[in-house]
Amino acid sequence: MAIYHMQSKVISRGSGRSAVAASAYMSCSRMYNDYDGIQHDYTRKHGLIYQEVLLPPMAPPEWKDREQLWNAVEAAEKTKDSRLAREFVVALPVELDKNSNISLLQDFIQRNFVDMGMCADFAIHDTDGHNPHAHILLTVRPLNENGTWQYKTEKEYLCIKNGEEKGFTSTEFKAAQKDGWEKQYRYKVEKKKIYMTASDAQEKGYDRIDKHPKSSRYGRQNPISEQWNSDEQLCIWRANWADTVNKMLAHNQINASIEHRSFADQGITEQPTIHEGYIAQNMEKKGMIADRCEINRQIRADNQMLRELKTQVSKLAQAVKHSIPVIAETMETIRNHMIFTQYHLLHNEMQKEVIHDWMNHFNPILNKYNTVKKKLKAKVTEQKELNVEKEKTSILNPIQHIKLNQQLTTVTEEIEELKSRKEQLIFQAQCSTDKDMINLSKKYDQMNNNLDILDSQDISLKKQLEKDAAAFREEKFRPDPEQYTELLDTRIQIRPDFRDKLIEQLKGTFGKYYDYHRRDIAANEVDYLNVEDPDVFSHRAWELEYQRKREIRRNQPAQSKKKSHDMEL
């Protein structure tokens, strides 16, 4: 079914990645990186369904060739930790065909990224036919109208005027300087280093120890870049992705939808389930046992009721054995306990069904997650070994260096792919971190253990039900045949009170999970087990009520109709 997954990450040299390598990897192509001289060849990689480059109007048309586009990006960035690109990994609806998914992506990327001035390179992957997803690579540096790169950040000098400090870019400072603003430099004052203006330092005779003026730590960010990098914009993109997918599903008349908001934001107190998705997050509200304490509470309530029944039976045994009221009360007491036991069995059956559904949903996710985690661990180890080998390789062996760099780049991209897959599985499991997945695995084991507890409990409940049925039959055939009608009438009279007592016991034990439909089903199954026809009781109850009303009317004194002569005029 359609799921929501949208992962955002930044490709930077600081993390050992390259925009050229990332593009080659996702497009399964061969590309040469002018920046480091490495050839990236992923033409033998499988799973590519579709790839395309989309450009804004101001971008040079030759950038339609992704190799030229990303080499231009690499050339524009000078530092060793530069941010090169932004990558999104999105899950595509399995309900849509290839052309619909392509159209969906083109529309979303054009409206949300390209129209904002970004160059976009995207590819659709599906290695096993069941996991269609797309990688979207975006430029992070804005473009000028003539197709040249804008700055991402500008140097911002912190200047002083009349004790007030304010930031100016180099262009802004030319005008600010005429208005009396001065740059601050570092001077040595005794054993301290203090920032002050050149005019103040000259008056006091301090020596400058640094030629660089005081500036803000990160500089002045380009307003366009600031918008692209903001959390608010990311939230907009996440919401727009959900809207775009839902519109495409509706257009194709597919009864499915995705939701970008968390359960907390939706006001659902449940948690991603199933995935939610489709299985309820809060299993307690589904009637499933949360832990052993809930099971033990039910067992204690059941045992308490059984002890009360045995006490009552023992007392009744000392009474007149053939007293119809006593027999009727004993039979209704046993019937109540049988209904309670049968209800408990039905409740357990429902709990096991919910547990099975929950386990069937999360079992494949946990298996895939563990597999991906093992592969990721192996790739990280391989990356470390390659780095060690690279450090040991002499600089006089450039060919070996290039070979190791190519291997490192491939391993790095494979690690990123596995990380994306792992994050997607974490999201499918409605978790946030690896720790949550560990807790989910423990919860899975607990659910499996709960099934064993419920099975063991069911065996005890069924044995008790058989004992109660035998005791009921013994009481049923205690009176003489000619007393059957009297026994039936007595049971009909006392049954409402017993029904109220049963409902009170069920509510006291099962609380908010009490279900009157399940109670009626349990009652019908108990009557079937005791070979009693509910229709006989209903028909006889109607006859008794009819007779009672006739008796009331018969005993009412005849009232003559008198005409009143005392009418007020």
For residue 403, which phi and psi values (nearest 5 degrees)? -60, -45
413 and 514 both lie in a single domain: yes
Give me the residues paired with residue 85 across strands. Answer: 11, 139
Q: Tell me what pLDDT residue 4 has.
A: 82
Residue 172: pLDDT over 60 = yes
CA distances to 361, 395, 431, 456, 489 from 428, rounded to whole Å, are: 10, 46, 8, 32, 60
Please state, for a pLDDT cut of 90, what percent of the chain lies above it.
49
CATH number at residue 70: 3.30.930.30
Picking from 285, 408, 516, the residue whose alpha carbon sits closest to that of residue 13 is: 408
Residue 294: pLDDT over 60 = no
465 token code pair: 């039900």
**Mean pLDDT over the full length of the chain:** 85
Residues 371-389, mean pLDDT to the nearest whole number: 93
78 and 136 both lie in a single domain: yes
The tally of domains found in the chain comes to 4
Domain containing 182: what range? 153-221
Residue 289: pLDDT over 90 = no
154 or 286: which leads in pLDDT? 154
Q: Tell me what pLDDT residue 268 has.
A: 45
pLDDT band at 483 (very low <50, low <70, confident <90, very high): confident
Q: Tell me what pLDDT residue 480 has.
A: 79
Please report whether residue 559 resides in a domain. Answer: no
What pLDDT digit, counting tens, does each position of 315-361 carry? 655 554 458 888 889 999 999 999 999 999 999 999 999 999 999 99
Residue 210: pLDDT over 70 = yes
pLDDT band at 226 (very low <50, low <70, confident <90, very high): confident
456 and 512 both lie in a single domain: yes
207 and 330 both lie in a single domain: no
For residue 436, which phi and psi values (nearest 5 degrees)? -65, -35
Lowest-confidence region among 14-23, 116-125, 193-202, 529-538: 529-538
For the stretch 477-510, what's the b/e string if a residue is b when 16 or more beta carbons lie within 10 angstroms of its beta carbon?
A: ebbeeeeeeebbebbbeebeebeeebeebbeebb
Alpha helices for 205-323 (secondary structure H): 223-229, 231-251, 263-266, 292-318
518 and 420 both lie in a single domain: yes
pLDDT band at 384 (very low <50, low <70, confident <90, very high): very high
Q: Tell me what pLDDT residue 299 has.
A: 62
189 and 63 both lie in a single domain: no
390 and 513 both lie in a single domain: yes
Is the torsion defined by CA of 383, 387, 388, 389 positive or negative?
positive
Picking from 91, 440, 422, 442, the residue whose alpha carbon sits closest to that of residue 273 is: 440
115 and 198 both lie in a single domain: no
208 and 239 both lie in a single domain: no
288 token code pair: 């499933």
157 and 146 both lie in a single domain: no
Q: At residue 461, what is the residue type?
A: L
CB 73 within 8 A of CB 17: no
Report the distance separating Cα 536 and Cα 543, nearest Å. Answer: 11
Lowest-confidence region among 217-221, 391-395, 407-411, 528-532: 217-221
- Residue 523 C-alpha from the chain's centroid: 39
Please state, for a pLDDT cut of 70, what percent of the chain lies above it.
88
Please report whether residue 560 resides in a domain. Answer: no
Please report whether residue 135 resides in a domain. Answer: yes
439 and 526 both lie in a single domain: yes
Residue 18: pLDDT over 80 = yes
Report the distance separating Cα 563 and Cα 340, nearest Å. Answer: 60
Report the distance separating Cα 40 and Cα 30, nearest Å. Answer: 6
Please report whether residue 568 resides in a domain. Answer: no
Please report whether residue 566 resides in a domain. Answer: no
Please report whether residue 258 resides in a domain. Answer: no
Q: Tell me what pLDDT residue 395 has.
A: 83
56 token code pair: 């804004």
Q: DSSP label at 167?
A: E
427 token code pair: 């999201």
Find the angle CA(386)-CA(388)-CA(391) to the nearest 5 degrees.
110
What pLDDT digit, counting tens, does each position of 43-86 carry? 998 899 999 999 999 999 999 999 999 999 999 998 888 899 99
What pLDDT digit, counting tens, does each position of 257-284 carry? 887 665 455 554 343 433 333 343 345 5
Q: Tell me what pLDDT residue 152 has.
A: 85
Q: Which of 275, 294, 318 lies at the terminal end of a domain, its last residue?
A: 318
Conformational region of residue 147, where left means phi above 0, alpha means psi within -120 to 50, and beta covers everything else: left
Q: DSSP label at 230?
A: S
Q: Tell me what pLDDT residue 364 has.
A: 92
Compute, in degrees rounded to 10, the torsion defined by CA atoms 54, 59, 61, 64: -30
165 and 285 both lie in a single domain: no
Query: From start to end of 365-483, where are the E strands?
Result: none
Please report whether residue 521 resides in a domain. Answer: yes
Q: Tell me what pLDDT residue 253 has.
A: 86
Query: From start to end of 55-191, where are the E strands?
Result: 83-91, 120-125, 133-139, 153-154, 157-161, 164-168, 182-189
546 token code pair: 């009819």
Please report whether residue 334 resides in a domain. Answer: yes
